[in-house]
């Protein structure tokens, strides 16, 4: 008989335009929601549950550690633990002021940079029109 998976709880913050993915945008400018997911779920699963395309998120933090940047998202397979905190910033959000001196990174982000630094250094947004660089 297969053992049933237990649910874990994630604390999710959705900043800027991403707050529209919350059932109830509780605060001006952001939403904080508690999400119950089965043990073993990863970031990709959370995005699917929120119905949020990964391309709409910008800077992302897991437990205060940088996990993704716009166009550079090595965190999709990150498996959550009970009580994890996830903060999704929209593409218009600036670097959070509390990280102005730098930020710790998740293991996935560190590994991705070490394995392919060119991809990290050259990530960029798609051009919206030919007048922008």
Contact residues for 110 (Cβ-Cβ < 8 A; gap 6+): none
* Count of other CB atoms within 10 angstroms of residue 88: 29
d(CA 13, CA 19): 8
Kindly list the averaged pLDDT for each block of 10 residues, start to end, along the chain of length 133. Answer: 79 94 78 95 97 95 93 95 97 72 82 78 47 39
Structural domain spans, the chain: 7-121
Contact residues for 12 (Cβ-Cβ < 8 A; gap 6+): 32, 33, 34, 35, 46, 50, 85, 86, 87, 88
Decide: helix, strand or coil at residue 111: helix
Give the CATH number of domain 7-121; options: 3.30.379.10, 3.10.20.30, 3.40.50.11890, 3.40.50.1000.
3.10.20.30
**Which pLDDT score is estimated for 97?**
62
Query: pTM, whole model, 2 decimals?
Result: 0.79
């Amino acid at each position: 008989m297969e053992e049933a998976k237990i649910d874990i709880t994630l604390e999710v913050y959705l900043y800027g335009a991403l707050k529209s993915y919350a059932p109830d945008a509780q605060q001006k400018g952001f939403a904080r929601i508690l999400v119950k997911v089965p043990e073993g779920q990863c970031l990709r699963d959370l995005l699917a549950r929120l119905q949020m395309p990964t391309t709409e998120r910008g800077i992302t933090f897991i437990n205060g550690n940088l996990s993704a940047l716009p166009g550079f998202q090595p965190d999709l397979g990150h498996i959550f633990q009970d009580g994890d905190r996830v903060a999704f910033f929209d593409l218009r959000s600036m670097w959070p002021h509390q990280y102005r001196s730098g930020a710790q990174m998740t293991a996935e982000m560190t590994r991705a940079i070490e394995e392919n630094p060119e991809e990290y250094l050259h990530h960029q947004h798609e051009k919206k029109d030919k007048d922008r660089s």
